[in-house]
Amino acid sequence: MRLLVAEDEPNLRDLLREVLEAGGYAVDTADGVEEAKGCLLAFPYDLLILDLALPDGDGLEVLRWLRGWGEKLPGLILTARGRLEARVQGLEAGADDYLVKPLYPQELLARVRALWRRSRGEASNRVRVGRLELDLELRRVFWKGRPVHLSGREYALLEFLALHPEGYFPREVLLEKVWPGEASVDPRTVDTYIRYLRRKLDQDAIETVRNLGYRFLG
């Protein structure tokens, strides 16, 4: 599977290449809109990973250009623009998924696998973590084998924690990942949603450690 990563920040570009190559993917990179277009014209790719803030234009221009001539190449947007309007704009331009910076390797690889499987019409991409099973494509949750209904925010919070079970995450990080760009949201909102998840799963599903944050135990 060959991926094109369009990212102009050298350190992040190198990190993305390292993570994706470690995941078994062949990776080409571009640092701007025009270079990305040139690569897409020259080579057949299986998936495009695209930063929006490129030095010679908005990354959405690449997506609109692709979709304009009927190309259905799966596209994953990477961006620091976390506002709802920005996410909607990207999806309407033809993106298939959206990942807000800062990025976490395990989450990035899970998104790439889900997009690849979806583009090939294969079965849903499921991830199992202990007692939890997530369907990343259909956004369905199974706890100890039974389906659990979650709101959109509950699902987003649980998905992030479940995909990163090795770490503790303070409120500030979870706000950035689950409520990106929503400055009016109080940090205590995270505590409220953690309580919602514990009620729907089990109390011991999510651990709290003072001065460290929350961690999913599975």
Do 175 and 185 touch, CB atoms closer than 8 A?
yes
How do residues 41-54 score in pLDDT, each as one tens digit?
Answer: 988 888 999 998 89
pLDDT for the residue 81 = 59
The backbone torsions φ and ψ at residue 193, rounded to the nearest 5 degrees and listed phi first, read -70, -30
The two tokens of residue 186 are 């109080």
SS3 119: helix
**Helical H segments across the chain, by residue range:** 10-22, 33-42, 60-68, 84-92, 105-119, 152-163, 171-178, 188-200
Q: Model pTM? A: 0.63
How do residues 177-193 score in pLDDT, each as one tens digit?
Answer: 788 767 678 888 999 99
Do 171 and 191 touch, CB atoms closer than 8 A?
yes
Return averaged pLDDT per consecutive 10 residues of the chain, 218 residues in all.
90 91 89 93 89 87 86 84 62 77 84 79 71 84 94 89 86 84 81 96 94 92
Q: Which domains does the chain have, with CATH numbers?
A: 2-119 (3.40.50.2300), 126-216 (1.10.10.10)
The two tokens of residue 39 are 């690569």
pLDDT for the residue 96 = 83
pLDDT for the residue 218 = 83
pLDDT for the residue 123 = 52
The full 3-state SS of 150-165, as one line of letters, equals CCHHHHHHHHHHHHCC
CA atoms within 13 A on the CB side of 120: 12
Rounded to whole angstroms, the Cα distance separating 141 from 208 reads 22
Rounded to whole angstroms, the Cα distance separating 65 from 165 reads 38
